[in-house]
Structure 1
Amino acid sequence: MPVRVRDAEICSAFYPVRADAARAVIAYSGLDVTEVLPGKAVCVLMFVDYRDGDLDTYHEFGMAFLVRPPGSTGASGLADLKQAGVFIHWLPVDQSFTLEAGRTLWGFPKELAHIDLRLGSPYKRCVLRKDGRLVLDMLIKPGAPMPGAAAMTPLDAYTHRDGVTRRVPWSVVRARGARIRPGGALIRLGNHPIAKELSELGLPKRAMFSTTISRAAMTFGAARET
Protein backbone atom coordinates (compact mmCIF):
# COMPACT_ATOMS: atom_id res chain seq x y z
CA MET A 1 0.00 0.00 0.00
CA PRO A 2 -0.76 2.35 -1.46
CA VAL A 3 -1.78 0.65 -4.69
CA ARG A 4 -0.94 2.93 -7.60
CA VAL A 5 -2.64 3.55 -10.92
CA ARG A 6 -0.25 5.32 -13.26
CA ASP A 7 -2.55 5.92 -16.22
CA ALA A 8 -6.33 5.72 -16.54
CA GLU A 9 -9.13 7.43 -18.45
CA ILE A 10 -12.17 8.28 -16.31
CA CYS A 11 -15.65 9.31 -17.46
CA SER A 12 -18.43 10.04 -14.98
CA ALA A 13 -21.90 11.54 -14.68
CA PHE A 14 -23.61 12.84 -11.53
CA TYR A 15 -27.37 12.40 -11.28
CA PRO A 16 -29.87 13.77 -8.74
CA VAL A 17 -32.02 10.91 -7.46
CA ARG A 18 -34.66 10.37 -4.78
CA ALA A 19 -32.94 10.44 -1.40
CA ASP A 20 -35.43 8.02 0.18
CA ALA A 21 -34.86 5.48 -2.60
CA ALA A 22 -31.07 5.90 -2.38
CA ARG A 23 -31.19 5.35 1.39
CA ALA A 24 -33.11 2.14 0.85
CA VAL A 25 -30.56 0.91 -1.70
CA ILE A 26 -27.53 1.42 0.58
CA ALA A 27 -29.23 0.69 3.93
CA TYR A 28 -27.12 -2.47 4.28
CA SER A 29 -23.99 -0.30 4.64
CA GLY A 30 -25.14 1.68 7.69
CA LEU A 31 -24.23 4.91 5.85
CA ASP A 32 -26.48 7.84 4.99
CA VAL A 33 -26.61 9.72 1.71
CA THR A 34 -25.81 13.40 1.44
CA GLU A 35 -28.83 15.43 0.39
CA VAL A 36 -27.56 18.13 -1.95
CA LEU A 37 -31.11 19.50 -2.08
CA PRO A 38 -34.10 18.56 0.09
CA GLY A 39 -35.11 15.04 -0.89
CA LYS A 40 -32.30 14.67 -3.45
CA ALA A 41 -29.19 12.51 -3.22
CA VAL A 42 -26.44 12.07 -5.83
CA CYS A 43 -25.85 8.87 -7.78
CA VAL A 44 -22.53 8.71 -9.63
CA LEU A 45 -22.16 6.51 -12.72
CA MET A 46 -18.63 6.14 -14.05
CA PHE A 47 -16.55 4.03 -16.39
CA VAL A 48 -12.77 3.71 -16.33
CA ASP A 49 -10.09 2.37 -18.65
CA TYR A 50 -7.14 1.33 -16.45
CA ARG A 51 -4.17 1.35 -18.83
CA ASP A 52 -1.23 1.06 -16.42
CA GLY A 53 -1.29 0.17 -12.73
CA ASP A 54 -0.36 -2.27 -9.99
CA LEU A 55 -3.49 -4.35 -10.75
CA ASP A 56 -2.69 -4.56 -14.49
CA THR A 57 -5.02 -3.35 -17.27
CA TYR A 58 -8.81 -3.66 -17.15
CA HIS A 59 -12.13 -1.93 -17.66
CA GLU A 60 -14.44 -0.97 -14.82
CA PHE A 61 -17.91 0.48 -14.31
CA GLY A 62 -19.08 2.01 -11.05
CA MET A 63 -22.40 2.84 -9.42
CA ALA A 64 -21.89 4.96 -6.32
CA PHE A 65 -23.57 7.47 -4.01
CA LEU A 66 -22.29 10.56 -2.23
CA VAL A 67 -22.54 9.84 1.50
CA ARG A 68 -22.01 11.56 4.81
CA PRO A 69 -18.96 10.44 6.83
CA PRO A 70 -19.82 8.00 9.64
CA GLY A 71 -20.68 9.91 12.82
CA SER A 72 -21.46 13.13 10.98
CA THR A 73 -24.14 15.14 12.77
CA GLY A 74 -24.32 18.24 10.57
CA ALA A 75 -27.34 19.01 8.43
CA SER A 76 -27.21 17.83 4.83
CA GLY A 77 -27.00 20.41 2.07
CA LEU A 78 -24.66 21.87 -0.49
CA ALA A 79 -22.15 22.83 2.23
CA ASP A 80 -22.05 19.18 3.32
CA LEU A 81 -20.53 18.20 -0.04
CA LYS A 82 -17.09 19.33 1.15
CA GLN A 83 -17.07 16.48 3.66
CA ALA A 84 -18.88 13.90 1.55
CA GLY A 85 -17.40 10.54 0.71
CA VAL A 86 -18.48 8.13 -1.99
CA PHE A 87 -20.03 4.75 -1.25
CA ILE A 88 -19.32 2.15 -3.93
CA HIS A 89 -22.52 0.15 -4.35
CA TRP A 90 -21.65 -1.88 -7.48
CA LEU A 91 -18.32 -2.20 -9.32
CA PRO A 92 -18.22 -4.63 -12.26
CA VAL A 93 -14.85 -5.28 -13.94
CA ASP A 94 -13.76 -7.40 -16.89
CA GLN A 95 -10.67 -9.13 -15.43
CA SER A 96 -10.49 -11.76 -12.68
CA PHE A 97 -7.24 -10.58 -11.06
CA THR A 98 -8.54 -7.11 -10.18
CA LEU A 99 -11.82 -8.69 -9.06
CA GLU A 100 -10.07 -10.84 -6.45
CA ALA A 101 -7.68 -8.08 -5.39
CA GLY A 102 -10.46 -5.52 -5.05
CA ARG A 103 -12.62 -7.80 -2.96
CA THR A 104 -9.76 -9.00 -0.74
CA LEU A 105 -7.84 -5.76 -0.18
CA TRP A 106 -10.69 -3.25 0.11
CA GLY A 107 -14.03 -5.07 0.12
CA PHE A 108 -15.03 -3.55 -3.22
CA PRO A 109 -18.26 -5.09 -4.62
CA LYS A 110 -16.58 -6.28 -7.81
CA GLU A 111 -18.24 -8.69 -10.24
CA LEU A 112 -17.21 -9.91 -13.66
CA ALA A 113 -19.11 -8.33 -16.55
CA HIS A 114 -18.69 -7.49 -20.21
CA ILE A 115 -17.63 -3.83 -20.45
CA ASP A 116 -17.26 -2.42 -23.95
CA LEU A 117 -15.53 0.98 -23.79
CA ARG A 118 -15.35 3.13 -26.92
CA LEU A 119 -13.08 6.04 -26.09
CA GLY A 120 -11.44 6.86 -29.41
CA SER A 121 -14.02 9.38 -30.61
CA PRO A 122 -15.11 12.74 -29.12
CA TYR A 123 -18.04 10.92 -27.51
CA LYS A 124 -17.08 8.46 -24.77
CA ARG A 125 -19.28 5.38 -24.67
CA CYS A 126 -19.73 2.41 -22.33
CA VAL A 127 -21.92 -0.60 -23.15
CA LEU A 128 -22.27 -2.77 -20.04
CA ARG A 129 -23.66 -6.31 -20.04
CA LYS A 130 -23.95 -8.72 -17.15
CA ASP A 131 -25.05 -12.36 -17.41
CA GLY A 132 -25.87 -11.80 -21.07
CA ARG A 133 -28.30 -8.96 -20.31
CA LEU A 134 -27.86 -5.29 -21.10
CA VAL A 135 -27.42 -3.15 -17.99
CA LEU A 136 -26.94 0.18 -19.74
CA ASP A 137 -25.55 1.98 -22.74
CA MET A 138 -24.02 5.28 -21.63
CA LEU A 139 -22.61 8.15 -23.70
CA ILE A 140 -20.66 11.14 -22.36
CA LYS A 141 -19.66 14.21 -24.36
CA PRO A 142 -16.57 15.97 -22.95
CA GLY A 143 -17.04 19.61 -22.03
CA ALA A 144 -14.87 22.62 -21.24
CA PRO A 145 -11.37 22.29 -19.71
CA MET A 146 -11.22 22.34 -15.91
CA PRO A 147 -8.52 24.85 -14.85
CA GLY A 148 -6.51 23.79 -11.83
CA ALA A 149 -7.51 20.12 -12.07
CA ALA A 150 -3.93 18.82 -12.23
CA ALA A 151 -4.50 17.29 -8.78
CA MET A 152 -7.71 16.75 -6.88
CA THR A 153 -8.65 16.72 -3.20
CA PRO A 154 -8.30 13.26 -1.63
CA LEU A 155 -11.64 11.52 -1.18
CA ASP A 156 -12.76 8.74 1.14
CA ALA A 157 -14.40 5.83 -0.62
CA TYR A 158 -16.57 3.45 1.40
CA THR A 159 -17.24 -0.22 0.76
CA HIS A 160 -19.28 -2.95 2.42
CA ARG A 161 -18.57 -6.67 2.24
CA ASP A 162 -19.21 -9.64 4.55
CA GLY A 163 -21.09 -7.41 7.00
CA VAL A 164 -18.25 -4.91 7.38
CA THR A 165 -18.18 -1.30 6.16
CA ARG A 166 -14.70 0.00 5.33
CA ARG A 167 -13.14 3.36 4.51
CA VAL A 168 -10.63 3.46 1.66
CA PRO A 169 -8.47 6.59 1.21
CA TRP A 170 -8.47 7.45 -2.50
CA SER A 171 -6.65 10.24 -4.29
CA VAL A 172 -6.29 11.45 -7.89
CA VAL A 173 -2.69 12.67 -7.79
CA ARG A 174 -2.60 13.80 -11.41
CA ALA A 175 -5.41 14.69 -13.82
CA ARG A 176 -4.56 15.70 -17.37
CA GLY A 177 -7.17 16.59 -19.93
CA ALA A 178 -9.90 17.11 -17.30
CA ARG A 179 -13.16 18.47 -18.69
CA ILE A 180 -16.63 19.23 -17.30
CA ARG A 181 -20.03 20.20 -18.70
CA PRO A 182 -23.60 20.60 -17.43
CA GLY A 183 -25.62 17.55 -18.41
CA GLY A 184 -23.45 15.94 -21.07
CA ALA A 185 -24.58 12.34 -20.61
CA LEU A 186 -27.08 10.11 -22.37
CA ILE A 187 -28.11 6.78 -20.90
CA ARG A 188 -30.24 3.88 -22.09
CA LEU A 189 -31.17 1.30 -19.46
CA GLY A 190 -31.49 -2.38 -20.26
CA ASN A 191 -33.39 -5.22 -18.59
CA HIS A 192 -30.87 -6.23 -15.93
CA PRO A 193 -31.87 -5.94 -12.22
CA ILE A 194 -29.34 -3.11 -11.75
CA ALA A 195 -31.06 -1.20 -14.56
CA LYS A 196 -34.34 -1.66 -12.71
CA GLU A 197 -32.70 -0.39 -9.52
CA LEU A 198 -31.47 2.71 -11.33
CA SER A 199 -34.92 3.33 -12.75
CA GLU A 200 -36.51 3.05 -9.29
CA LEU A 201 -34.10 5.72 -8.00
CA GLY A 202 -35.85 8.19 -10.26
CA LEU A 203 -32.80 8.59 -12.48
CA PRO A 204 -33.56 11.65 -14.63
CA LYS A 205 -32.83 11.95 -18.34
CA ARG A 206 -30.40 14.81 -17.68
CA ALA A 207 -27.34 14.59 -15.43
CA MET A 208 -26.41 17.50 -13.18
CA PHE A 209 -22.99 17.45 -14.81
CA SER A 210 -20.48 15.08 -16.36
CA THR A 211 -16.68 14.93 -16.26
CA THR A 212 -13.91 13.29 -18.26
CA ILE A 213 -10.20 12.88 -17.46
CA SER A 214 -8.05 11.61 -20.30
CA ARG A 215 -4.92 10.83 -18.24
CA ALA A 216 -5.30 10.22 -14.51
CA ALA A 217 -2.93 8.84 -11.88
CA MET A 218 -4.42 7.57 -8.61
CA THR A 219 -3.57 5.91 -5.31
CA PHE A 220 -5.68 3.64 -3.11
CA GLY A 221 -4.71 3.33 0.55
CA ALA A 222 -5.31 0.53 3.02
CA ALA A 223 -8.94 -0.16 4.01
CA ARG A 224 -10.02 0.52 7.59
CA GLU A 225 -13.20 -0.67 9.27
CA THR A 226 -15.55 2.19 10.15
Structure 2
Amino acid sequence: MATLLDDGSWEVQGRRLTLPVRITDASAALATYLVRTSAASRLVEDTGLSLVSMAGRTPLVLGFITYRAGDLDSYHEVAVALLARHRRCVGPYIRQMAVTESFTLEAGRALWGLPKWLARAELNLTGRTATCRLTETSGALVLTAALRTLPWRVPLTLPGTLTALAPCDDTVLASKLRGRVNGIRLGLRGAEVTLGTGNPMADELRAIGLPRRPITTLTADHLEFAMAAATPLPR
Protein backbone atom coordinates (compact mmCIF):
# COMPACT_ATOMS: atom_id res chain seq x y z
CA MET A 1 0.00 0.00 0.00
CA ALA A 2 1.39 3.41 -1.02
CA THR A 3 1.25 6.12 1.65
CA LEU A 4 1.52 9.89 1.21
CA LEU A 5 3.85 11.29 3.88
CA ASP A 6 3.63 14.68 5.61
CA ASP A 7 6.55 16.12 3.63
CA GLY A 8 4.91 15.33 0.25
CA SER A 9 6.98 12.23 -0.44
CA TRP A 10 5.52 8.74 -0.75
CA GLU A 11 6.26 5.41 0.86
CA VAL A 12 5.83 2.48 -1.51
CA GLN A 13 6.62 -1.09 -0.42
CA GLY A 14 8.73 0.28 2.42
CA ARG A 15 10.70 2.67 0.19
CA ARG A 16 10.51 6.46 0.07
CA LEU A 17 9.91 8.23 -3.23
CA THR A 18 10.42 11.97 -3.59
CA LEU A 19 9.03 14.05 -6.43
CA PRO A 20 9.80 14.57 -9.17
CA VAL A 21 10.44 10.90 -9.83
CA ARG A 22 13.40 10.50 -12.17
CA ILE A 23 14.05 7.94 -14.91
CA THR A 24 17.71 8.09 -15.90
CA ASP A 25 18.04 5.43 -18.62
CA ALA A 26 15.38 3.87 -20.83
CA SER A 27 14.78 2.94 -24.46
CA ALA A 28 11.50 3.14 -26.31
CA ALA A 29 9.55 2.29 -29.44
CA LEU A 30 6.30 3.92 -30.54
CA ALA A 31 3.73 3.24 -33.23
CA THR A 32 1.24 6.05 -33.92
CA TYR A 33 -2.12 5.27 -35.49
CA LEU A 34 -5.13 7.34 -36.51
CA VAL A 35 -8.32 5.73 -35.20
CA ARG A 36 -11.90 6.79 -35.81
CA THR A 37 -12.87 9.30 -33.14
CA SER A 38 -16.46 8.05 -33.18
CA ALA A 39 -15.30 4.53 -32.33
CA ALA A 40 -12.82 5.58 -29.64
CA SER A 41 -15.05 8.17 -27.97
CA ARG A 42 -16.65 5.60 -25.67
CA LEU A 43 -13.25 5.18 -23.99
CA VAL A 44 -13.51 8.71 -22.55
CA GLU A 45 -17.17 8.62 -21.53
CA ASP A 46 -17.66 10.01 -18.00
CA THR A 47 -13.94 10.82 -17.64
CA GLY A 48 -14.04 14.60 -18.04
CA LEU A 49 -11.89 14.25 -21.17
CA SER A 50 -12.63 14.69 -24.86
CA LEU A 51 -10.61 13.24 -27.69
CA VAL A 52 -8.59 15.46 -29.99
CA SER A 53 -10.01 14.90 -33.45
CA MET A 54 -8.61 15.79 -36.86
CA ALA A 55 -10.94 15.06 -39.78
CA GLY A 56 -12.72 12.51 -37.62
CA ARG A 57 -9.53 10.72 -36.52
CA THR A 58 -7.70 10.66 -33.18
CA PRO A 59 -4.01 9.81 -32.70
CA LEU A 60 -3.45 6.59 -30.74
CA VAL A 61 0.02 5.53 -29.64
CA LEU A 62 1.22 2.04 -28.80
CA GLY A 63 4.29 2.51 -26.63
CA PHE A 64 6.94 -0.04 -25.65
CA ILE A 65 9.54 1.00 -23.06
CA THR A 66 12.41 -0.74 -21.30
CA TYR A 67 13.44 1.04 -18.11
CA ARG A 68 17.00 0.26 -17.10
CA ALA A 69 17.67 2.76 -14.30
CA GLY A 70 15.73 5.25 -12.23
CA ASP A 71 13.71 5.76 -9.09
CA LEU A 72 11.21 3.05 -10.13
CA ASP A 73 13.91 0.44 -10.81
CA SER A 74 14.13 -1.66 -14.00
CA TYR A 75 11.07 -3.06 -15.76
CA HIS A 76 9.23 -3.31 -19.08
CA GLU A 77 6.10 -1.39 -20.01
CA VAL A 78 3.52 -1.53 -22.81
CA ALA A 79 1.02 1.33 -23.00
CA VAL A 80 -1.94 2.55 -25.05
CA ALA A 81 -2.52 6.32 -25.14
CA LEU A 82 -5.00 8.55 -26.95
CA LEU A 83 -4.52 12.25 -27.55
CA ALA A 84 -7.11 13.98 -25.38
CA ARG A 85 -8.12 17.35 -24.01
CA HIS A 86 -9.26 18.56 -20.62
CA ARG A 87 -10.40 22.15 -21.03
CA ARG A 88 -7.23 23.93 -22.20
CA CYS A 89 -4.87 21.08 -21.29
CA VAL A 90 -3.94 18.67 -24.12
CA GLY A 91 -1.92 15.51 -23.60
CA PRO A 92 -1.89 11.71 -23.75
CA TYR A 93 -4.73 9.95 -21.96
CA ILE A 94 -3.07 6.76 -20.77
CA ARG A 95 -5.80 4.20 -21.32
CA GLN A 96 -3.82 1.00 -20.64
CA MET A 97 -0.41 0.46 -19.08
CA ALA A 98 0.97 -3.04 -18.60
CA VAL A 99 4.12 -3.30 -16.43
CA THR A 100 6.27 -6.20 -15.32
CA GLU A 101 7.06 -5.23 -11.70
CA SER A 102 4.80 -4.60 -8.69
CA PHE A 103 6.77 -1.63 -7.33
CA THR A 104 6.16 0.58 -10.36
CA LEU A 105 2.56 -0.66 -10.50
CA GLU A 106 1.82 0.56 -6.97
CA ALA A 107 3.75 3.81 -7.43
CA GLY A 108 2.12 4.62 -10.77
CA ARG A 109 -1.39 4.06 -9.50
CA ALA A 110 -0.91 6.01 -6.27
CA LEU A 111 1.20 8.98 -7.43
CA TRP A 112 -0.32 9.69 -10.86
CA GLY A 113 -3.51 7.62 -11.14
CA LEU A 114 -2.05 5.58 -14.01
CA PRO A 115 -3.99 2.41 -14.94
CA LYS A 116 -1.06 0.05 -14.49
CA TRP A 117 -1.60 -3.70 -14.37
CA LEU A 118 0.82 -6.56 -13.96
CA ALA A 119 1.85 -8.56 -17.03
CA ARG A 120 4.76 -10.37 -18.66
CA ALA A 121 6.58 -8.66 -21.52
CA GLU A 122 9.46 -9.72 -23.74
CA LEU A 123 10.83 -6.55 -25.35
CA ASN A 124 13.74 -6.14 -27.72
CA LEU A 125 14.19 -2.46 -28.59
CA THR A 126 17.69 -2.46 -30.05
CA GLY A 127 18.63 -0.78 -33.31
CA ARG A 128 16.12 -0.04 -36.05
CA THR A 129 13.73 -2.83 -35.07
CA ALA A 130 11.61 -3.42 -32.00
CA THR A 131 9.67 -6.50 -31.00
CA CYS A 132 7.25 -7.24 -28.20
CA ARG A 133 5.38 -10.23 -26.86
CA LEU A 134 2.97 -9.20 -24.10
CA THR A 135 1.07 -11.78 -22.07
CA GLU A 136 -1.01 -11.82 -18.93
CA THR A 137 0.66 -13.31 -15.86
CA SER A 138 -1.32 -16.49 -16.65
CA GLY A 139 0.48 -16.70 -20.01
CA ALA A 140 -2.55 -15.73 -22.14
CA LEU A 141 -1.53 -13.66 -25.16
CA VAL A 142 -2.34 -9.94 -25.12
CA LEU A 143 -0.43 -8.88 -28.23
CA THR A 144 2.69 -9.28 -30.29
CA ALA A 145 4.28 -6.41 -32.19
CA ALA A 146 7.15 -5.82 -34.61
CA LEU A 147 8.13 -2.24 -35.45
CA ARG A 148 10.57 -1.14 -38.14
CA THR A 149 12.25 2.19 -38.81
CA LEU A 150 14.73 3.62 -41.27
CA PRO A 151 18.39 2.90 -40.39
CA TRP A 152 19.47 6.52 -39.87
CA ARG A 153 19.50 8.17 -36.47
CA VAL A 154 18.46 11.76 -35.95
CA PRO A 155 21.82 13.37 -34.93
CA LEU A 156 20.33 15.39 -32.08
CA THR A 157 19.35 15.15 -28.44
CA LEU A 158 15.84 16.53 -28.25
CA PRO A 159 14.17 17.99 -25.16
CA GLY A 160 10.48 17.44 -24.60
CA THR A 161 7.59 18.18 -22.27
CA LEU A 162 4.17 16.59 -22.09
CA THR A 163 1.29 16.34 -19.62
CA ALA A 164 -0.23 12.92 -18.98
CA LEU A 165 -3.96 12.91 -18.20
CA ALA A 166 -5.55 10.34 -15.90
CA PRO A 167 -9.19 10.40 -14.75
CA CYS A 168 -9.39 9.61 -11.04
CA ASP A 169 -12.64 9.66 -9.04
CA ASP A 170 -14.15 13.14 -9.49
CA THR A 171 -10.99 14.74 -10.89
CA VAL A 172 -8.53 14.49 -13.75
CA LEU A 173 -4.90 14.13 -12.68
CA ALA A 174 -2.47 16.09 -14.84
CA SER A 175 1.17 15.01 -14.50
CA LYS A 176 3.95 16.89 -16.27
CA LEU A 177 6.97 15.08 -17.71
CA ARG A 178 10.15 16.85 -18.74
CA GLY A 179 12.94 14.96 -20.42
CA ARG A 180 15.22 14.43 -23.37
CA VAL A 181 15.73 11.71 -25.94
CA ASN A 182 18.43 10.71 -28.40
CA GLY A 183 19.25 7.94 -30.84
CA ILE A 184 15.91 8.48 -32.60
CA ARG A 185 15.02 6.55 -35.76
CA LEU A 186 11.80 7.19 -37.69
CA GLY A 187 9.74 5.03 -40.00
CA LEU A 188 6.52 5.08 -42.03
CA ARG A 189 3.84 2.40 -41.68
CA GLY A 190 6.40 -0.11 -40.44
CA ALA A 191 4.59 -2.16 -37.80
CA GLU A 192 2.71 -5.43 -37.50
CA VAL A 193 0.54 -6.06 -34.44
CA THR A 194 -1.34 -9.26 -33.59
CA LEU A 195 -3.99 -9.06 -30.87
CA GLY A 196 -5.01 -11.77 -28.45
CA THR A 197 -8.53 -12.20 -27.09
CA GLY A 198 -10.15 -11.91 -23.70
CA ASN A 199 -7.89 -9.14 -22.39
CA PRO A 200 -9.14 -5.53 -22.02
CA MET A 201 -6.14 -4.02 -23.84
CA ALA A 202 -6.46 -6.29 -26.86
CA ASP A 203 -10.26 -6.22 -26.88
CA GLU A 204 -10.38 -2.40 -26.79
CA LEU A 205 -7.89 -2.06 -29.62
CA ARG A 206 -9.92 -4.48 -31.70
CA ALA A 207 -13.24 -2.79 -30.84
CA ILE A 208 -12.09 0.66 -31.95
CA GLY A 209 -10.70 -0.74 -35.19
CA LEU A 210 -6.95 -0.43 -34.78
CA PRO A 211 -5.67 0.09 -38.34
CA ARG A 212 -3.49 -2.55 -39.92
CA ARG A 213 -0.59 -0.10 -40.26
CA PRO A 214 0.47 2.94 -38.21
CA ILE A 215 1.19 6.28 -39.85
CA THR A 216 4.61 6.50 -38.18
CA THR A 217 7.01 4.45 -36.08
CA LEU A 218 9.83 5.62 -33.84
CA THR A 219 12.58 4.01 -31.82
CA ALA A 220 14.83 5.80 -29.33
CA ASP A 221 18.04 4.36 -27.93
CA HIS A 222 18.00 6.52 -24.82
CA LEU A 223 15.50 8.64 -22.97
CA GLU A 224 15.44 10.17 -19.53
CA PHE A 225 12.78 12.22 -17.81
CA ALA A 226 11.40 13.55 -14.55
CA MET A 227 7.71 13.19 -13.66
CA ALA A 228 6.26 15.77 -11.29
CA ALA A 229 3.48 15.37 -8.77
CA ALA A 230 0.01 15.05 -10.22
CA THR A 231 -2.19 18.14 -10.19
CA PRO A 232 -5.90 17.39 -9.65
CA LEU A 233 -8.17 19.26 -12.05
CA PRO A 234 -11.95 19.43 -11.59
CA ARG A 235 -13.91 17.55 -14.23
Question: TM-score per shorter chain, which class?
Answer: 0.7 to 0.9
TM-score, with structure 2 as normaliser: 0.85
The letter of the residue matching 1:85 is G
How large is the Cα RMSD of the aligned pairs? 1.6
- Residues 85 and 198 of structure 1: CA distance in aligned 2, closer, same or farther (over 3 Å): same
- Mapping of residues 50-65 of structure 1, within 5 Å: 50-65=67-82
Measured in 2, the distance between the counterparts of 1:118 and 1:105 equals: 28
Segments of 5+ residues of structure 1 without an aligned counterpart are 73-82
Secondary structure of the residue aligned to 2:160 is coil
TM-score, with structure 1 as normaliser: 0.88
Which protein has the bigger strand share?
2
1:26 aligns with: 44
- Residues 102 and 170 of structure 1: CA distance in aligned 2, closer, same or farther (over 3 Å): same
Deviation at 1:180, TM superposition (A): 1.1
- Mapping of residues 1-226 of structure 1, within 5 Å: 1-36=19-54, 38-68=55-85, 70-72=86-88, 84-120=90-126, 122-130=128-136, 131-143=138-150, 144-148=152-156, 150-172=157-179, 174-191=180-197, 192-226=199-233
Deviation at 1:103, TM superposition (A): 0.8
Measured in 1, the distance between the counterparts of 2:223 and 2:127 equals: 18
Q: Verify the 8 A CA contact 2:48 2:167 in the aligned structure 1.
A: no
Q: Sequence identity of aligned pairs in percent?
A: 36
2:3 aligns with: none
Measured in 2, the distance between the counterparts of 1:194 and 1:187 equals: 13
Q: What whole-Å deviation, never above 9, does each CA across 1:179-224 have from its counterpart, x for those lacking one?
A: 1111121111111332121012111111010111111111101101
Deviation at 1:120, TM superposition (A): 4.3
Greater Rg by CA: 2
Deviation at 1:22, TM superposition (A): 1.4
- Residues 60 and 215 of structure 1: CA distance in aligned 2, closer, same or farther (over 3 Å): same
- Residues 84 and 180 of structure 1: CA distance in aligned 2, closer, same or farther (over 3 Å): farther
